[in-house]
C-alpha cells in the first residue's frame, strides 16, 4: 500500500511539474523573446549584440507605483546602458481589464515621456509568466491593496473644502473607504481561497510547492519541523545536524531559502501557518515543532494548526520576552523560551562562575528558574522609557512601602488576591539591626508598619493592589 502511495505521489508530481510553466530562478540564463515595441517593430534580446546583460522591468501605464518610478527606470537606462546593460521595459497587463494599458496608449506614453528604452507589449503574457508572474500572486497582492488609506481621507477633506464634490457623493465615497478598511482583514485572511477560485493554474503552483516540501520530508521519521529559518532557526539546525537529528525548515524568504538550500540545509519555501504545508512537512511523523520567529500572532496561528492536525505534539516557541507567555502556553505551546530572560540567565551563570560559585550549583540555579517557568524572574522595575514602549498588560515589578497611615497595616496578604497582583517578596526591618531583610511569608501573613512589598503583575493589577495598601 505504501509503495502504491509513493508511486501515485510521483505520478502526481510529474503531472504538476509538466502542467506548470517553468519559471526563471536566480542564476538562470533568460531565453530570447521577440515582442512588439512602441515603434511597431519587433525587438529581441539577440539584436543587442554588444550587451553584457539586460535590466528587464515589467511596468505599465496605469499603475500609480509604476508611474511614480518612470524617472528611476529612465535613470537606470542612462547609467547602465553605456556599460552594456540596457533597460528593456515590458507591459503585460490585460488591456480588456485596463484599457489604459493598450498598445496605442503605450505608444502615447512612450512619446510623451520620451522613453530612451524599448517599451514592449507582451500581449500573450508568456514572457511575464516565464519571469515568475502568477495570476494567484496578482490576486493576492490586489486583495492586500484594496483598502483605502489615510491619504485618501486627506484628499477628500481638501476636495470637500474646495467644493469640488457633492455632499451626497462625498458621503458615498467615505462609506466605501470605511467598508474597504473593515473588510480588508477578511479578504487578506481568505486571499488564498479567493486566488484558487479565480486562477485556474494557481492550485498547480501550490501543488508544485507542496510537492517540493513533501519530497524533502518523505523519508523523515521523528524529525523536527523548524518554522522560520532566520538566525535562531539556522543555529538550531546546526545543533540538530551535530546530533544527526533530521529536520525540515519552512521559511517565506525565497532568497534565504535558495541560499541555505544550496549550502545543504534542509529548508524549503513554505508557510507554517498553513495546514497543507505542515502536512507536507510530515507533521504526522514529526517529533517536535519549533517556532523560531518572534511574532506572537503568527505563532498562535501555527499552534492552532498543530492542535487541529496533531494534538499533543511538543511545540517550542521563541518569544522576545515573557509578556505573552501564558497566552502561548494556553494555546498549546509545550515550552515558551523568552529571549531576554534566557539571555539574563546566561549572563547570570557566567557571572556566578567568574565569582567562584561551583558549576553544579550554577546549573541547579538555572534549572530551577526554568522549571518554575521563570516565575522568580518575570517582570522587572520599569523606567519612564519602558512605560512608553512596553504594553500595559505585560508583567512588571513595583515596590510599595507601608507608611504610618497605610491602609494595609494589620491586614493579611489575602486582601491582594482579587487584584491579580502577586507578592514576589516581603522585606521587613530587623528590630535589632534596623536593617531590612527578606522574610518568608504566606497568604495569612499580617502586614506591619514599614514593610516593603514587591508586587508582580500588569499595570492595572498593581494599581489596584497599591490602592488597597496605601
Closest CA to 113 of 69, 54, 63: 69
Average pLDDT for residues 214-235, to the nearest whole number? 88
Return the CATH fold of 203-333: Rossmann fold (3.40.50)
Name residues whose C-beta falls within 8 Å of residue 347's C-beta, 6 or more positions apart in sequence: none
Alpha-carbon distance of 425 to 454, in angstroms, equals 5
- Answer whether 413's CB lies under 8 Å from 457's CB: no
Alpha-carbon distance of 463 to 398, in angstroms, equals 10
Whether pLDDT at 56 is above 50: yes
Return the CATH fold of 384-469: Alpha-Beta Plaits (3.30.70)
Closest CA to 342 of 374, 313, 380, 388: 374
Collapsing DSSP to helix, strand or coil, 418 comes out as helix
Average pLDDT for residues 259-268, to the nearest whole number? 87
What percent of the residues of the chain are helix, what percent strand, and what percent coil, each to the nearest 5?
50, 15, 35
- Answer whether 443's CB lies under 8 Å from 414's CB: yes
The pLDDT score that the predictor gives to residue 35 is 94
Alpha-carbon distance of 465 to 415, in angstroms, equals 9
Predicted confidence band of residue 205 (pLDDT cuts 50, 70, 90): low
Classify each residue of 3-13 as buried b or exposed e, where b means 16 or more C-beta atoms within 10 Å of its C-beta: eeeeeeeeeeb
User: Domain map of the chain by residue range?
Assistant: 31-131, 140-198, 203-333, 384-469
Same CATH topology for 203-333 and 384-469: the answer is no
Strands 288-291 and 224-227: parallel
> Based on the number of CB atoms within 10 Å of its own CB, is 189 exposed (0-12), middle (13-18) or buried (19 or more)?
exposed
Concatenate the DSSP letters of all residues of 326-358 into one string. HHHHHTT-SEEEEHHHHHHHHHHHHHHHHTT--
C-alpha cell at 13: 508530481
Residue-wise pLDDT tens digits, 171-186: 888 888 889 888 888 8
Closest CA to 239 of 290, 302, 293, 314: 290
Span between the terminal Cα atoms of the chain, in Å = 73
Percentage of the chain lying above the pLDDT 90 cut? 33
Strands 396-401 and 452-457: antiparallel
For 31-131, CATH gives 3.40.30.10
Alpha-carbon distance of 227 to 295, in angstroms, equals 11
Within 355-408, residue ranges assigned H as helices are: 359-371, 384-389
Within 243-330, residue ranges assigned H as helices are: 254-262, 275-280, 296-309, 325-330
Residue-wise pLDDT tens digits, 304-349: 999 999 988 899 999 887 778 888 888 888 888 888 888 888 888 8
The pLDDT score that the predictor gives to residue 379 is 56
Nearest-5° Cα angle at 59, 56 to 60: 150
Alpha-carbon distance of 459 to 393, in angstroms, equals 6
Residue-wise pLDDT tens digits, 74-104: 999 999 999 999 999 999 888 887 888 999 9
* 90 membership: H or E segment, kind and range: strand 87-91
Residue-wise pLDDT tens digits, 340-397: 888 888 888 889 888 988 988 888 888 877 766 665 555 556 665 655 555 556 677 8
Alpha-carbon distance of 155 to 160, in angstroms, equals 8
Q: 97 or 136, which is more confident?
A: 97
Strand order in the sheet with 247-251: 267-269, 247-251, 224-227, 288-291, 315-319, 335-338
Alpha-carbon distance of 467 to 416, in angstroms, equals 10
Classify each residue of 33-47 as buried b or exposed e, where b means 16 or more C-beta atoms within 10 Å of its C-beta: bebbbbeeeebebee
Alpha-carbon distance of 121 to 41, in angstroms, equals 11
Half-sphere exposure of 84 (CA within 13 A, CB side): 5
What is the residue-averaged pLDDT of the chain? 82
Collapsing DSSP to helix, strand or coil, 127 comes out as helix
CA distances from 2 to 6, 137, 218, 281 (A): 6, 35, 12, 17
Alpha-carbon distance of 266 to 344, in angstroms, equals 31
Average pLDDT for residues 407-432, to the nearest whole number? 90
Alpha-carbon distance of 288 to 282, in angstroms, equals 11
Residue owning grid cell 525565497: 254
User: What Rg value do the Cα atoms of the chain yield, rounded?
Assistant: 31
- Answer whether 397's CB lies under 8 Å from 380's CB: yes
C-alpha cell at 96: 480588456
Amino acid at each position: 500500500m505504501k509503495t502504491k502511495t509513493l508511486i501515485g505521489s510521483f505520478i502526481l508530481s510529474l503531472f504538476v511539474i509538466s502542467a506548470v510553466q517553468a519559471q526563471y530562478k536566480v542564476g538562470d540564463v533568460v531565453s530570447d523573446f521577440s515582442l512588439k515595441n512602441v515603434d511597431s517593430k519587433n525587438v529581441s534580446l539577440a539584436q543587442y549584440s554588444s550587451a553584457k546583460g539586460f535590466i528587464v522591468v515589467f511596468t505599465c501605464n496605469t499603475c500609480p507605483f509604476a508611474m511614480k518610478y518612470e524617472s528611476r527606470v529612465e535613470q537606470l537606462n542612462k547609467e547602465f546602458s553605456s556599460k552594456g546593460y540596457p533597460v528593456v521595459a515590458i507591459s503585460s497587463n490585460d488591456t480588456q481589464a485596463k484599457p489604459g494599458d493598450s498598445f496605442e496608449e503605450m505608444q502615447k506614453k512612450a512619446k510623451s515621456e520620451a522613453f530612451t528604452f524599448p517599451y514592449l507589449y507582451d500581449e500573450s503574457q508568456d514572457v511575464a509568466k516565464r519571469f515568475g508572474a502568477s495570476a494567484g500572486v496578482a490576486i493576492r497582492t490586489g486583495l492586500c491593496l484594496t483598502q483605502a488609506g489615510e491619504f485618501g481621507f486627506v484628499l477628500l477633506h481638501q476636495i470637500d473644502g474646495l467644493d469640488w464634490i457633492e455632499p451626497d457623493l462625498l458621503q458615498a465615497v467615505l462609506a466605501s473607504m470605511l467598508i474597504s478598511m473593515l473588510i480588508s482583514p477578511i479578504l487578506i485572511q481568505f486571499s488564498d481561497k479567493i486566488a484558487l477560485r479565480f486562477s485556474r493554474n494557481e492550485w498547480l503552483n501550490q501543488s508544485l510547492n507542496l510537492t517540493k516540501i513533501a519530497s524533502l520530508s518523505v523519508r523523515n521519521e521523528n524529525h523536527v519541523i523548524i518554522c522560520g529559518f532566520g538566525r535562531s532557526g539556522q543555529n538550531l539546525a546546526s545543533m540538530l545536524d551535530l546530533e544527526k537529528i533530521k529536520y525540515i525548515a519552512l521559511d517565506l524568504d525565497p532568497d534565504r531559502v535558495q541560499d541555505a538550500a544550496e549550502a545543504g540545509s534542509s529548508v524549503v519555501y513554505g508557510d507554517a501557518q498553513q495546514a497543507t504545508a505542515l502536512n507536507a512537512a510530515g507533521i504526522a511523523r514529526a517529533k517536535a515543532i519549533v517556532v523560531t520567529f518572534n511574532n506572537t500572532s503568527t505563532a498562535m496561528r501555527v499552534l492552532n494548526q498543530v492542535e487541529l492536525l496533531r494534538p499533543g505534539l511538543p511545540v517550542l516557541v521563541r518569544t522576545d520576552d515573557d509578556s505573552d507567555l501564558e497566552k502561548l502556553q494556553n494555546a498549546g505551546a509545550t515550552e515558551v523560551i523568552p529571549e531576554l530572560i534566557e539571555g539574563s540567565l546566561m549572563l547570570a551563570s557566567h557571572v556566578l562562575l567568574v565569582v567562584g560559585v561551583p558549576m553544579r550549583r550554577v546549573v541547579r540555579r538555572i534549572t530551577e528558574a526554568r522549571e518554575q517557568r521563570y516565575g522568580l524572574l518575570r517582570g522587572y522595575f520599569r523606567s519612564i522609557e519602558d512605560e512608553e514602549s512596553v504594553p500595559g498588560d505585560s508583567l512588571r515589578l513595583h515596590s510599595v512601602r507601608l507608611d504610618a497611615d497605610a491602609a494595609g497595616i494589620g491586614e493579611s496578604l489575602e486582601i491582594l488576591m482579587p487584584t491579580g497582583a502577586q507578592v514576589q517578596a516581603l522585606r521587613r526591618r530587623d528590630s535589632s539591626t534596623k536593617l531590612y531583610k527578606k522574610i518568608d511569608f504566606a497568604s495569612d501573613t499580617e502586614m506591619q508598619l514599614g514593610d516593603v512589598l514587591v508586587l508582580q503583575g500588569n499595570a492595572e493589577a498593581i494599581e489596584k493592589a497599591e490602592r488597597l495598601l496605601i
